[in-house]
Amino acid sequence: MNREILDGKIFIYPTDTVYGLGCNALNISSVEKIKKIKNRDFKKPLSIIAPSLKWIEKYCLVDFDLKKYLPGPYTLILKKKNKNFLKHVSSGDSIGVRMPDNEFCDEIRKTEVPFITTSVNLSGEKAIIRISEIPKNIKDQVDIIVDEGELSGRPSTIVIDGKEIKR
Please enumerate in sequence order all residues whose Cβ is within 8 A of that of 122, keeping only pairs 6 or more positions apart, or say none: 38, 39, 135, 138
The pLDDT-based confidence of 166 (bands split at 50, 70, 90) is confident
Q: Are strands 72-80 and 60-61 parallel, antiparallel or unpaired?
A: antiparallel
CA–CA separation, 129 vs 150, rounded Å? 5
Does 129 score more than 80 pLDDT? Answer: yes
Hey, what amino acid is at 74?
Y
Q: Which residues span the domain enclosing 8?
A: 2-165
102 vs 124, more confident? 102
In this prediction, residue 110 carries a pLDDT of 95
pLDDT at 127: 86
Contact yes or no for 89/48 (Cβ under 8 A): yes
Using the predicted structure, report yes or no on whether residue 40 has a pLDDT greater than 90: no
Question: What per-residue confidence (pLDDT) applies to 121?
Answer: 85
- Model's pTM, two decimal places? 0.94
Provide the CATH number for the domain around residue 134.
3.90.870.10
Number of domains, the chain: 1
Residue 37 neighbours by CB distance under 10 Å: 19
Residue percentage of the chain with pLDDT more than 90: 84
Bridge-based pairing state of the strands 11-14 and 72-80: unpaired
- The mean per-residue pLDDT over the stretch 91-107 comes to 95
